[in-house]
Amino acid sequence: MAFLICASCRPQVEPVLAPFDAAFVRLYVREIAALPLAVRFESPMGTELGGLTYNAQPFRITRHLGDDLNGIGGWNSDQGDLVYASGTGRVIYTGMPSDGWGNMVILAHRVPDKSMAQGYKIFQTVYAHLETVKVKMGEMISRGAPLGTVGTANGHYWAHLHFEIRESLSVYPGMGYSDEPQDRVSPEAFVKAYSGVAALNQAPK
């Protein structure tokens, strides 16, 4: 004899979803092709050469994955100061990934590189702990254009800009500290290498 079990009588089992890995969010080929060429990069704070600022926590010091840029007054004296696009690029991320990050903006850049078959590499500049954001997702931003203001990540830190350079096609907030450099390169070395230079064969590691 066959027994029928009604569908509503069956135990309801919630599906178990794997944690979302943001590293799988990547730029499409058409998005990469549409990126403007960025042949020059500058400091995102202070004067064009980074004057009136200092690097309070450089790349890879205490496992740090970026540079922490401050106004020379220290403390919260630079809160609300403008943050500028280090190079010409497109906005590929805006948001507040966590309280510790505060507001974050990520720009993608197509940087000429003769060592590559396609003639370029893709780099991202990351601007975090912002108080305000002045750009929108997908917007094309020129080098030196204001994109936000220096903040405190909702009061988590003294005011400063966390600035990163990533060689990556993945679009994700990530973490600020790690035992390994991951896809980051030294912002200070990168900006110095590309400051006023039309193109280089290879970016610094």
Q: Is the pTM of this model over 0.85?
A: no
Structure tokens at 159: 């005011």
- Is there a domain that residue 189 lies in? yes
- Is there a domain that residue 8 lies in? no
Structure tokens at 140: 């094309």
Residue with tokens 């403390």: 75
Using DSSP's 3-state secondary structure scheme, residue 95 falls into: strand
Polymer length of the chain = 205
Summarised one tens digit per residue, pLDDT across range 135-179 is 999 999 999 999 999 999 989 999 999 999 999 999 999 999 899
Residue 145: CATH number of its domain? 2.70.70.10
Query: Which residues form the domain of 55?
Result: 27-194
Query: Has residue 21 got a pLDDT over 80?
Result: no
